[in-house]
Amino acid sequence: MRQAPNIMLTGTPGVGKTTHCESLAERTGLRHISINQVVKDKGCHEGWNEEYQSWIVDEDKLLDAIEKEVHCGGCIIDWHACDLFPRSWLDLVVVLRVDSSTLFDRLTGRNYAEAKLQENLDSEIMEVLLQEARDAFDEAIVIELTSNTADELESNVDRIEAWIKQWKLDNAS
């Protein structure tokens, strides 16, 4: 039994996953696991994809690399995909959403190549990550939150922090 819940923050690149995770980790003491960082640091990949400017992730290696830590509970997992994680690992899956004009501005700021920019905008409009989360996990643990403004960021963090407190009360042994 975990002493603290495991939470996944997912969504299209640029929605605010890392920003939310860092704030949550600071506020709650839960550990931020940036999958990008793990893939890079622990070599959980089969090389670099030039076109997408991203690692070709070896999912088995990645799961092995974080299994022990996740097993202890108290992890906030930060990544743009969720369906590779076993259902039993996660207590809450938060899908962050933004308006396309906001996402456009954020991704342009990152100097994304045109093709990658368009692909991410399409993905957000088509709700790809939300659907992936709903297909992979029990609908009761999947929540959708908007992340357009600093106020929304603040209220999302408040809400997830309150959820964590409640989880701990409900699961106290």
Binding positions for ATP: 14, 16-19, 110
At its nearest, how many Å lie between ligand ADP and the CB of residue 102? 8
Does the footprint of ligand ADP cover residue 153 (CB under 6 A)?
A: yes
Closest to 137 in 3D by CA, of 67, 87, 71, 79: 87
Does the footprint of ligand ADP cover residue 75 (CB under 6 A)?
A: no
Contact partner, 147, from Mg ion, ligand ADP, none, Cβ < 5-8 Å per class? ligand ADP
Closest to 126 in 3D by CA, of 12, 13, 20: 12
Contact partner, 74, from Mg ion, ligand ADP, none, Cβ < 5-8 Å per class? none
Which residue is nearest to ligand ADP, using beta carbons? 16
Please say which residue, 34 or 171, places its beta carbon nearer to ligand ADP.
34
Does the footprint of ligand ADP cover residue 149 (CB under 6 A)?
A: yes
Burial of 46 (0-12, 13-18, 19+ CB in 10 A): exposed
Burial of 109 (0-12, 13-18, 19+ CB in 10 A): exposed
